[in-house]
């Protein structure tokens, strides 16, 4: 029997994984909406290594664009991972199909329009059509996960809850005051930053009623007065009806 290769033994873990790749995957899996950043202490604990080794991992990932420094001690998703994530999301037919509808809707309502898809734990921004009709606009970064209180997140939660229920549970019976029925759909409303920014969202559904994405209008609240919320929600509902889901 031949001798084992020491380099191979050091570089491969259980199941033949290359150790450094396995460690990076383990580390990146820690990133989610509730914990969107990493620091040296967390990295050391997750990987079971010393703090100096953990720091080298973070610095190396930053150099390659997989992470980016948020401040002196923490790192978040970098441009390379955001670009890869966007590429993966673009393979979903809904992202391509929504493009023309989003451009038309943005021109109609004069606000930024955002498409989000489910990322496993939270909605992820997959496409953005910014409003170009005003000097002040809202910028939304493609690849970002949305927090649990976002209008889009609450829509996904409501429709996922219905899918888990047995019987004829009706979406109109939900207790979230920010969810408003428009026709056969629920729409969601959220106001941020002390009332300065508003989001109104509607679901994109399959023929079986499964939610696959959300379409949202986002803008400064001054340009989205409360008395126009219903009209915007109805335009969103009309827009999602025109998006064909494969």
Domain parsing of the chain, residue ranges = 6-77, 84-241
Instruction: Render pLDDT for 143-200 as a digit per residue (tens, 0 to 9).
Output: 888 888 899 999 999 888 877 664 433 444 445 567 888 888 889 998 876 768 999 9
> Does residue 198 contact residue 224 with C-beta atoms inside 8 Å?
yes
DSSP category for residue 35: B
Place domain 84-241 in its CATH homologous superfamily.
Answer: GAF domain (3.30.450.40)
Q: Rounded to an integer, what distance in angstroms lies between the CA atom of residue 183 and that of residue 65?
A: 45
* The total number of residues written for the chain in this structure: 246
pTM attached to this predicted model: 0.64
Give the helix/strand (H/E) hosting 69: strand 67-69
CATH of domain 6-77: 1.10.10.10
How far CA 146 is from CA of 71, 109, 117, 120, 164, in Å, comes to 21, 23, 10, 12, 22
């Amino acid at each position: 029997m031949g001798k084992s290769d020491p380099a191979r033994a050091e570089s491969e873990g259980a199941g033949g994984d290359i150790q450094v790749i396995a460690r990076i995957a383990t580390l990146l899996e820690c990133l989610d909406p509730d914990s969107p950043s990493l620091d040296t202490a967390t990295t050391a604990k997750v990987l079971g290594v010393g703090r100096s080794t953990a720091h080298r991992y973070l610095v190396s990932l930053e150099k390659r664009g997989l992470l980016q420094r948020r401040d002196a001690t923490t790192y978040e998703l970098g441009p390379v991972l955001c670009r890869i994530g966007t590429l993966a999301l673009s393979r979903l037919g809904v992202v391509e199909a929504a493009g023309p509808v989003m451009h038309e809707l943005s021109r109609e309502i004069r606000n930024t329009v955002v498409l989000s898809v489910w990322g496993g734990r939270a909605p992820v921004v997959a496409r953005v059509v910014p409003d170009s009709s005003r000097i002040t606009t809202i910028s939304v970064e493609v690849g970002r996960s949305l927090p649990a209180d976002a209008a889009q997140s609450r829509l996904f939660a409501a429709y996922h809850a219905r899918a888990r229920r047995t019987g004829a549970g009706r979406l109109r019976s939900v207790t979230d005051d920010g969810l408003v029925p428009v026709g056969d759909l629920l729409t969601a409303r959220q106001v941020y930053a002390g009332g300065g920014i508003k989001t109104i969202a509607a679901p994109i559904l399959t023929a079986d009623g499964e939610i696959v994405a959300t379409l949202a209008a986002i803008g400064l609240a001054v340009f989205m007065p409360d008395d126009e919320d219903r009209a915007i929600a109805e335009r969103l509902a009309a827009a999602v009806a025109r998006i064909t889901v494969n």
